[in-house]
Structure 1
Amino acid sequence: MTANGHSETPFITPADALLIIDMQVDFMPGGELGVAGADGVVPLINRLSELPFGLIAATQDWHPSDHVSFDMQGGPWPEHCVAGTKGAALVPDLAQAHIGVVLRKGMRPDTDSYSAFEDNARTSRTGLDGLLRGRGINRVFVVGVALDYCVAATARDAVRAGFATVVLTDACRSVAQSVAAMQAGLVSEGVETAHAVDLLALMDRALTPREIADQLEALLAGRSYVQAIATRALKIFNSHDRPRFKALSDALMELVTMDAEPEFELDRNAILAIIDTIRSL
């Protein structure tokens, strides 16, 4: 944890998922339940969507017209995100090319649903946890609106479901509570926080496979530990081509395994063959 309360900047791999919460027209400024500044996080979320996540999922409130949360039904909110209306649509500027699944919630008239995992009564689940496990996901990153409602509820449920969970606070906006107040509460509940801009900067400093291969070969010639450079290279390589990224990951992990074996020095030809494979990616 850094001095400002955020976790050390993580690195994205295909074992991570991005959960984009309720980036809908009605939650944008001027919408029926507009969140101040919500439109300003769209470009940041779009850039995050280009990173090599194993899954990107988006949620939509999708309410019936007589939903319990509406003020005309005695609820706390104005009518919003009514199923099939323009206000319920995802924001037009939100890049959707990499979104693999859209989960709709709050569809029962008598129960609200903040979390992407289950409704507020904990009686109906979306199946998101099973989908994530089926894709080999072990960590989720949460962005969107509103930080103090649906984002926070999703993050808490992700922790409860056993996923390492990171809220990217600068890619969220709140209805009422400050980011600092929300951050302190989430951290106390096992949710990590980080900045999306730091994550993007880390991923943008990547080496190419050819550069990684050259470094590996130089270190091998100097009888250095391949495991150390393989692990470092894996952390700094960024590819938007996911099969290519996985091929590099598999090759580097093979080097890590070989380095751990007693006969490591006897496998130099095999190691060089793997390095050549990396160089060709």
Structure 2
Amino acid sequence: MTANGHSGSGGREVSLFITPADALLIIDMQVDFMPGGTLGVAGADGIVPLINRLGELPFGLIAATQDWHPAAHVSFDMQGGPWPVHCVAGTKGAELAPDLAQAHIGVVLRKGMHPDTDSYSAFEDNARASRTGLDGLLRGRGIKRVFVVGVALDYCVAATARDAVRAGFATVVLTDACRGVAESVAAMEAALVSEGIETTRAVDVLALMDRGLTPRKIASVLESLLARKSYVQAIAGKALEMDNSHYRPRSSILSDALMELAVMDAGPEFELDRDAIRAIIDRIRSV
């Protein structure tokens, strides 16, 4: 990673600053894909803490996917498919991994629900016959770039990244927050880069954001929340999170301003008082 916050594969530079124009796609972090599950991916449980930390960053949207198969799905070996029975709809194995923090996940997309068609990508099934609506959701939120994590790197993560590029989104796979089934990380990185997909490391993103959340950036994140319908609640929650998280401000003036937002009454009189909120945000920006 360079000093100005860029890192990337194939000799190209990728900005690692996360903004509300970025989305995090968490792919298939489900019980059956964890070690000990019916289709366990080695080391998948080890990336949960890293994904949880990514979930604390100011992404404009965080979406998770679930395989959600009927009992006689075409992908199952008993039906002549390549995989053991896994992630059957409504079973414990189909649930998201219990240690995966879900508070920041805005939407969960279920896939692979048609008995005769498998679905690796978060965007559409393998036959390209049925779409999840993810591309429209991302555009509706003003998302320009997606970061992809989860399992398996050489199947559902890669398929999602390819479809994200096809849909017109800048796409980055965070390889240290993924685990694969068969292909090595190096081989997958080379394949993805050749298809116009960037790769970098989640730890570099987190390191940059840990030291990069300046008062100016804090103000920009809070300001972006003013566009939301329930902006007071959104700003109050984000301010409290920033004051209590590993981004904890070193300045007492900044911390006091964040706490002023965090305890703000969410009643109708404050719902209309954008000027008061903006004045506090301007104070933060000037610290």
Structure 2 length-normalised TM: 0.75
Structure-1 residue corresponding to 2:114: 108
Q: How many residues align?
A: 228
Contact preservation (8 Å) 1:35, 1:145: yes
Partner Cα separation in structure 1 for residue 141 and residue 214 of structure 2: 26
Deviation at 1:208, TM superposition (A): 3.7
Structure-2 residue corresponding to 1:93: 99
Deviation at 1:278, TM superposition (A): 2.9
Return 5+ residue gaps in structure 1 as ranges.
213-236, 248-273
Of 134, 147, 150, which aligns to 1:144?
Answer: 150
Structure-1 residue corresponding to 2:273: none
Partner Cα separation in structure 1 for residue 111 and residue 88 of structure 2: 11
Deviation at 1:10, TM superposition (A): 1.6
Question: Are 1:170 and 2:182 an aligned pair?
Answer: no
Amino acid at match of 1:45: I
Structure-2 residue corresponding to 1:278: 282
CA 1:8–1:162 in structure 2 vs 1: closer, same or farther (change >3 Å)? closer
For the residue of structure 1 that corresponds to 2:65, the secondary structure is: strand
Q: Deviations over 1:117-150 (max 9, x none)?
A: 0000000000000000000001000000000000
CA 1:89–1:57 in structure 2 vs 1: closer, same or farther (change >3 Å)? same
Contact preservation (8 Å) 1:206, 1:238: no
Question: Are 1:39 and 2:39 an aligned pair?
Answer: no
Provide the aligned C-alpha RMSD in A: 2.2
Return 5+ residue gaps in structure 2 as ranges.
1-6, 227-277
Amino acid at match of 2:73: H
CA 1:7–1:21 in structure 2 vs 1: closer, same or farther (change >3 Å)? farther
* More deviation, 198-207/42-51: 198-207
Deviation at 1:9, TM superposition (A): 4.7
Partner Cα separation in structure 2 for residue 2 and residue 49 of structure 1: 21
Deviation at 1:279, TM superposition (A): 2.7
For the residue of structure 1 that corresponds to 2:132, the secondary structure is: coil
Structure 1 length-normalised TM: 0.76
For the residue of structure 1 that corresponds to 2:212, the secondary structure is: coil
Partner Cα separation in structure 1 for residue 283 and residue 131 of structure 2: 45
Amino acid at match of 1:73: Q
Mapping for residues 60-139 of structure 1, pairs under 5 Å: 60-139=66-145
Amino acid at match of 2:18: I
Amino acid at match of 1:112: D
Question: Are 1:180 and 2:186 an aligned pair?
Answer: yes
Deviation at 1:206, TM superposition (A): 2.6
For the residue of structure 2 that corresponds to 1:136, the secondary structure is: coil
Amino acid at match of 1:68: V
Contact preservation (8 Å) 1:203, 1:238: no
CA 1:277–1:45 in structure 2 vs 1: closer, same or farther (change >3 Å)? closer
Question: Percent of aligned positions with the same letter in both sequences?
Answer: 79
Structure-2 residue corresponding to 1:243: 222
Amino acid at match of 2:40: G
Question: Are 1:53 and 2:59 an aligned pair?
Answer: yes
Structure-2 residue corresponding to 1:201: 207
Partner Cα separation in structure 1 for residue 280 and residue 43 of structure 2: 48
Partner Cα separation in structure 1 for residue 44 and residue 12 of structure 2: 21
Structure-1 residue corresponding to 2:252: none
Partner Cα separation in structure 1 for residue 71 and residue 206 of structure 2: 40
Partner Cα separation in structure 2 for residue 57 and residue 207 of structure 1: 23
Partner Cα separation in structure 1 for residue 85 and residue 61 of structure 2: 31
Partner Cα separation in structure 2 for residue 120 and residue 207 of structure 1: 40
Contact preservation (8 Å) 2:9, 2:193: no
CA 1:5–1:109 in structure 2 vs 1: closer, same or farther (change >3 Å)? farther
Amino acid at match of 1:26: D
Amino acid at match of 2:31: V
Larger radius of gyration: 1
Partner Cα separation in structure 1 for residue 132 and residue 95 of structure 2: 19
